[in-house]
Amino acid sequence: MPQTTRVLRVSLCLLLMAAVSSPPAMAAGSDDKPNIVLILMDNFGWGEIGVYGGGELRGAPTPNIDSIAHEGLRLTHYNVEAECVPSRASMMTGRYGIRTRKRPDGPTRGTWYGITKWEETLAEVLSDSGYTTALFGKWHLGDTEGRFPTDQGFDEWIGIPRSSDRAFWPDSNSYDPGAHPDAVFTRIMRSKRGETPTEHEVFDRKKRTTIDREITDQSIDFIKRKGAGDKPFFVFLSYTQTHEPVDPHPDYYGKTGHGSFADVLAQTDDYVGELLATIDDLDLKDNTIVIFTSDNGREGIPRSFGFTGPWRAGMFSPYEGSLRVPFLIRWPGKVPANRVSNEMMHAVDLLPTFAAIVGHDLPDDRVYDGADQTAFLTGETDESARDSVVIYLGNVLFGVKWKNWKLLLREMEEDTYAIKEMAYPSVYNLIVDPKEEVPELNYLNDTWVDFPLYQVLEDHEVSIEEDPGAPGL
Among 84, 243, 346, 460, the active-site one is 84
Residue 356: CB atoms within 10 A of its CB come to 16
Contact indicator for 421, 397 with CB cutoff of 8 Å? no
Q: Which of 415, 207, 393, 413 is nearest to 303 (CA)?
A: 415
Give whole-number Cα distances, 18 to 9, 21, 24, 27, 401, in Å: 14, 5, 11, 20, 60
What phi and psi, each to the nearest 5 degrees, are found at residue 211? -65, -40
Q: Which of 365, 371, 372 is nearest to 389 (CA)?
A: 371
| H-type alpha helices, 44-102 | 63-70, 84-93, 97-100
User: How many Å is the maximal CA-CA distance in the chain?
Assistant: 103
Task: Dump the DSSP string for 163-191.
Answer: -GGGGGGGG-TT--TTS-TT----EEEEE
Residue 349: CB atoms within 10 A of its CB come to 28
Among 140, 249, 360, 460, the active-site one is 140
Q: Is 84 a catalytic residue?
A: yes
- By CB atoms closer than 10 A (0-12, 13-18, 19+), residue 286 is middle
Q: Is 140 a catalytic residue?
A: yes
**Which residues are catalytic, by number?**
84, 140
